[in-house]
Amino acid sequence: MKFTKMHGAGNDYVYVDCFAQDPPPDPEGLARRLADRHTGVGGDGLILILPSERADAEMRMYNADGSYSEMCGNGIRCVAKYVYDHNLCRKPRLVIESAGKLLSLDLTIEDERVERVRVDMGEPILDAAHIPTLLPGPMVVNTPLDAGGQLFAVTAVSMGNPHCVVFVECATDELVLGVGPKIEHDPAFPNRVNVEWVEVLAPDRVRQRTWERGSGETLACGTGASAVCVAGVLTGRTDRRVMVELLGGLLELEWNEADNHVYMTGPAVEVFSGEWPA
């Protein structure tokens, strides 16, 4: 099986082109084996790039623990780069399907290759039942949550996948690595949750660390940065346009007032390709 390793702001996945070969029969098990940083290729998970009847391509993503996720912000930028650079569809605006949703992506092309991608992430889902969270709704904004005996004010947002945003003075290892997994598995989030720890540096700039559902701490999370942009506005902490500093790089976010869509812009990088024994 041929694969390509790519990353967006350091959030790295193993990509398998299923235009050219059959989709793997056990993507969950394959994701676990490939993602292992000692015995596999190494990565935050597996992303399949498939033909679609409704779009230029379909993305299907699996976390490092093999669990499926509906959406991946850094991943979808890399899928767009792969689709363009590898001549699967040579258009500067692509439509990519993920979990039945169609997303539109605008490519910045330099020397025939995609460097940056702006993704229309669609409208955030704020209704508690649809995130899903059992915290009292209809919206969960600055709502108290007890995690490991400590009380946090959390804001819940779905960008197709669930996020719990926590604004803090300092996103320490103790919070990210210690409390992050507790919130991921808290019964208040029946499908588990991605946890975003955020320091506000200015109304247009934040620093974020992410504990991802199914992958642990990653260097960046695109859907997470989108959720943070929305949570910053809902809690009155940030402007609608915000630069998000992540461990692996910068993402530009905007929650557009006119159409209620979130727009995310960031890099997409191809690292290397190889073959994995079937």
CB 275, min distance to ligand LBFN2T5F, A = 25
- Contact of 193 with 186, CB cutoff 8 Å: yes
CB 160, min distance to ligand LBFN2T5F, A = 8
Q: What stretches of the chain adopt beta strand conformation (E)?
A: 2-8, 11-17, 45-50, 57-63, 68-69, 93-98, 101-110, 113-122, 143-147, 150-158, 162-167, 194-202, 205-212, 216-218, 241-246, 249-255, 262-267, 269-275
- Contact of 34 with 67, CB cutoff 8 Å: no
Say whether 212 counts as a known binding-site residue: yes
Concerning whether 221 is annotated as a catalytic residue, the answer is yes
CB 113, min distance to ligand LBFN2T5F, A = 21
Residue 236, C-beta contacts closer than 8 angstroms, at least 6 positions apart: none
Concerning whether 78 is annotated as a catalytic residue, the answer is no
Smaller CB distance to ligand LBFN2T5F: residue 59 or 175? 59
Burial of 228 from C-beta contacts in 10 A (0-12 / 13-18 / 19+): buried
Given 78, 164, 221, 229, which residue is catalytic?
221
Rounded to the nearest 10°, the torsion over CA 204, 192, 158, 262 is 40
Say whether 256 counts as a known binding-site residue: no
DSSP 257-268: TTT--EEEEEE-
Smaller CB distance to ligand LBFN2T5F: residue 10 or 203? 10
Smaller CB distance to ligand LBFN2T5F: residue 203 or 250? 250
Say whether 63 counts as a known binding-site residue: yes
Say whether 39 counts as a known binding-site residue: no
Q: Which residues bind ligand LBFN2T5F (CB under 6 A)?
A: 11, 63, 69, 72-75, 161, 194, 212-215, 218, 221-224
Phi, psi of 56 (to 5 degrees): -75, -25
Q: Which two tokens stand for residue 265?
A: 């812009």
Say whether 40 counts as a known binding-site residue: no
What's the one-letter identity of residue 231?
Answer: A
Distance CA 118, CA 105 (A): 6
Smaller CB distance to ligand LBFN2T5F: residue 71 or 145? 71
Smaller CB distance to ligand LBFN2T5F: residue 24 or 45? 45
Say whether 213 counts as a known binding-site residue: yes
Residue 272, C-beta contacts closer than 8 angstroms, at least 6 positions apart: 4, 5
CB 138, min distance to ligand LBFN2T5F, A = 22
CB 277, min distance to ligand LBFN2T5F, A = 26
Say whether 194 counts as a known binding-site residue: yes
Binding residues: 11, 63, 73-74, 161, 194, 212-213, 222-223
- Just list the catalytic residues: 72, 221
Binding-site positions for substrate read: 11, 63, 73-74, 161, 194, 212-213, 222-223
